[in-house]
A and B are shown apart, each in its own frame.
Chain A
Amino acid sequence: MREPLLQVRDLKVAFRTHGGAEFQAVCGINLDVERGQMHAVVGESGSGKSVTMLAIMGLLSPSARVSGSVRLEGEELIGKPERAMRRIRGARIGYIFQDPMSALNPLLTIGDQIAEAIRLHDRKITKRSAQERAVELLRLVAIPMAEQRALQYPHEFSGGMRQRVVIAMAMANEPSLLIADEPSTALDVTIQAQIMELLERLRAEKGVGIVLVTHDLGLVAGAASAVTIMYAGRVVEQGSVDEVFAWPRHPYTRGLLGSLPHPGRPKPRLDAIPGAPPPITMRPSGCAFHPRCTFAVERCLTEVPPLRSVGPSLSACHRAEELPPLATAMEAANAGR
């Protein structure tokens, strides 16, 4: 079997504070992304999903300690010297930021910013060719009047168009992997759909592998084929979207899907899980989810559950086997969108 496009093994990220203490933001996660596959990474804030992505790109601050393995098309990225990483960033991995307004330099034209992405990785290309290619990319992401638009500034674009520009920038050098960090969160619902559609088109036409970081399970259901659920720096469930949505093997996933098993309440609820995810500095002992888990037992307070095979998926729950399938969850998620 060919090696996956992106293979993350046991990735750990620790941050040092001024006081000298160290906090584990990410506690050993595994992730596989195949070529042409959209793999969703889901979690609330504090789950470490953004930190993971930045760690893959090598964009964390020097005070962060990263360990483990990240292989892109077989090539190890952890420990790579900065100069080599720069050649990879923007060329073989494209990054799409959450808020397109802040991701674009307000004082440079759109054309310039896209052309910059091209010229950073092609020293020989002329300014004019780079500009032309920038216009082509704008057409690729379906921006009308691309030639005129390339000369405009970010504030002259609408939110949805700005995000398309960011996607164009990320695609500029035909990367094999795209990391989309909450690409539609800052946009309204109709635009969200358009952006997701664009990403799907790119995936199908260009064969680019996409990591979709999101907190919105509805998006996942419609677009991704594989999903990784993260909580408090760990993977709590991982598998194909079909499997996980039909039969979530972790209480957190079930909570996200809007229903929790509870004696005396067989009907699914659409509430959010009560409570809030723990901040990095104050993670509970044992299973980090136990304070919010209606399914928790004494073991959950002391033992960190390992990620293990449960059916076709992976789950980090001591009681994973006891959770029944959830035929209605998928319908509920789709119906709510």
Chain B
Amino acid sequence: MSEVAGRRHQISLPQWATLPVVVGGFIVLAWIIIGLTVPLWAPYDPTMLAGRRFVPPGAEHWLGTDALGRDVFTRTLYGVRHSLPIAAAVIASAVVIGCTLGAIAGFVGGIVDEAIMRLVDVTLSFPAILLAMAVTAALGPGLANAAIAMIIVWWPIYARLMRAQVLAVREREHVEAAIASGATPSRVLFKHILPLCWSPIIVNATMDFGQVILLAASLSFIGLGAVPPTPEWGQMISDGALHFYRWWIAAGPGIAILTIVLGFNFLGDGLRDYLDPRSP
């Protein structure tokens, strides 16, 4: 098939740079840049009054003002400075904790495996948002506690994923060869097994960024995450729901969440096509 004398593309793109990856990457990159640079160029301050209350969108306030007279557009842009770092922290922690436990479970097996997997099963027995709600309520409202709750909710997924990968890779020939040639267990684990386990983890983590942002927004919407006056998106939508007829208050953060989660989903989807083309 590869000897086909077909037409060649004019531009030579690397194989992973498919449309979803490019679009998704662009969106995510744009938001990261916004997050890093917005204090330099934002029209107003996100926590200070900028004008009259409930001003509809117009030339001075592109997305209008909210119940306290703060500029919605500015607050929307500033929101990413809370959502992205939290998501990154949550995912990083969940991946580290989950993958460690999952790798141990898969590699060591036996009662350790059983114990860890039971813990995973129990944690996954709850709908994510319910568990997060319960833990945050127990710990007290606030972004930090919400983050802890989300980490607790999220790590089991990676534990399961990692364990499955380790179990699959463990059976492969080069691992047996390494064991036969006398490598120590930790060497086998780190040098031969783990490097092959990463691709589903990466795909999952990328798509999970979007889901974590959604969960964080949901928690803030309920009142368990960010506390006012933080310009967090879920918070802002909750505000917007209160003042329903002033649609612009919720529109900004809603569209922001939509675009950034879409971006991560595209990225993850595209990455998955590249790394594992067989899944639907």
* Secondary structure call for the A interface: loop
| CB nearest neighbor in B for A18 | B6
Please give, as numbers and ranges, the residues of chain B lying within 8 Å of A19 by CB-CB distance: 4, 6-7
User: In the complex, what residue of chain A is closest to B2 when comparing beta carbons?
Assistant: A281
**From residue B163, how far is it (CB to closest CB) to chain A in Å?**
35
Q: Which residues on the A side are within 8 Å of B6 (C-beta)?
A: 17-21
**Chain B residues near A335 (CB-CB < 8 A):** none
Query: Is A107 an interface residue, CB under 8 A from the partner?
Result: no
CA distance A282 to B7 in the complex (A): 17
B13 contacts the other chain (Cβ, under 8 Å)?
no
Contact B1 A281 (CB under 8 A): yes
Closest to A19 in B: B6
Name the distance in Å between A63's Cβ and chain B's nearest Cβ: 14
Residues 242-271 of A contacting B (Cβ, < 8 Å): none
Q: How far is the CB of A3 from chain B (nearest CB, A)?
A: 41
* Cβ B3 vs Cβ A282 within 8 A: yes
Asked if B11 lies at the interface with its beta carbon under 8 angstroms from chain A, I say: no
Do B1 and A20 have beta carbons less than 8 Å apart? Answer: no
Residue of B nearest to A16 (CB): B6
Instruction: Give the docked Cα–Cα distance between A281 and B6 (Å).
Output: 11
The DSSP consensus for interface residues of chain B is loop
Q: Are B5 and A21 in contact (CB under 8 A)?
A: yes
Expressed in whole angstroms, the Cα–Cα distance for A319 and B5 within the complex equals 32
Chain B residue total in the interface (Cβ 8 A): 6
Complex: A21 Cα to B7 Cα, angstroms: 7
Cα distance, A18 to B2, chains bound together (Å): 12
A13 to B4, CA, bound (A): 18
Minimum CB–CB distance from B51 to chain A (whole Å) comes to 56
B7 and chain A: residue at smallest CB distance: A20
Query: Which residues from 1 to 32 on chain A have a C-beta closer than 8 Å to any C-beta of chain B?
Result: 17-21
Alpha-carbon distance between A19 and B1 when the two chains are bound, in angstroms = 11
Return chain B residues, CB-CB under 8 Å to A281.
1, 3-4
A21 to B6, CA, bound (A): 5
Q: How far is the CA of A20 from the CA of B6 in the complex (A)?
A: 6
Q: Return chain B residues, CB-CB under 8 Å to A18.
A: 6
- Taking CB atoms, residues of chain A closer than 8 Å to B5 are 21
Within 8 A of A (CB), among B3-17: 3-7
Closest to B8 in A: A19
Q: How far is the CB of B109 from chain A (nearest CB, A)?
A: 38
Residues of A within 8 A of B1 (CB): 281
Q: How far is the CA of A196 from the CA of B153 in the complex (A)?
A: 65
Q: Report the bound CA distance from A281 to B1 in whole Å.
A: 7
B244 to chain A, nearest CB (A): 50
Complex alpha-carbon distance, A104 and B7, angstroms: 40
Write the nearest CB–CB distance from A72 to chain B, whole angstroms: 35
- Complex Cα distance, B275 from A319, in Å, reads 54
Within 8 Å CB of A21, what residues of B?
4-7
How many Å from the CB of A285 to the closest CB on chain B? 14
CA distance A19 to B5 in the complex (A): 8
In the assembled complex, which residues on chain A have CB atoms less than 8 Å from the CB atom of B4?
17, 19, 21, 281
Q: In the complex, what residues of A have CB within 8 A of residue B3's CB?
A: 281-282
CB neighbours (8 Å) of A17 from chain B are 4, 6
Q: Which of B54-112 contact A (CB under 8 A)?
A: none
Distance to closest chain A CB from B19 (angstroms): 15
Instruction: With both chains docked as a complex, state the minimum distance between the C-beta of B101 and any C-beta of chain A, in angstroms.
Output: 42
**Complex: A62 Cα to B163 Cα, angstroms:** 45
Contact with B along A266-286 (1 / 0, CB 8 A): 000000000000000110000
**Complex Cα distance A272/B167, Å?**
45
Interface residues as binary, B1-43 with A (CB distance below 8 Å gives 1, 0 otherwise): 1011111000000000000000000000000000000000000
Q: How far is the CB of B197 from chain A (nearest CB, A)?
A: 32
* Residue in A18, A19, A21, A282 with the greatest tally of chain B CB atoms within 10 Å: A19
- Residues on B with C-beta less than 8 A from A282 are 3
CB distance from A276 to the nearest CB of B (A): 16
Closest to B9 in A: A19
- Give me 16 A-to-B residue pairs in the complex whose CB atoms sit less than 8 angstroms apart, sorted by A's number: A17-B4, A17-B6, A18-B6, A19-B4, A19-B6, A19-B7, A20-B6, A20-B7, A21-B4, A21-B5, A21-B6, A21-B7, A281-B1, A281-B3, A281-B4, A282-B3
Known contacts A17-B4, A21-B6, then 4 further A-B pairs from the complex at CB < 8 Å, ordered by chain A residue: A19-B4, A21-B7, A281-B1, A282-B3
Please report A residues at the B interface, Cβ cutoff 8 Å: 17-21, 281-282
Please report B residues at the A interface, Cβ cutoff 8 Å: 1, 3-7
Nearest 3 A/B pairs, CB to CB: A19-B6, A21-B6, A20-B7
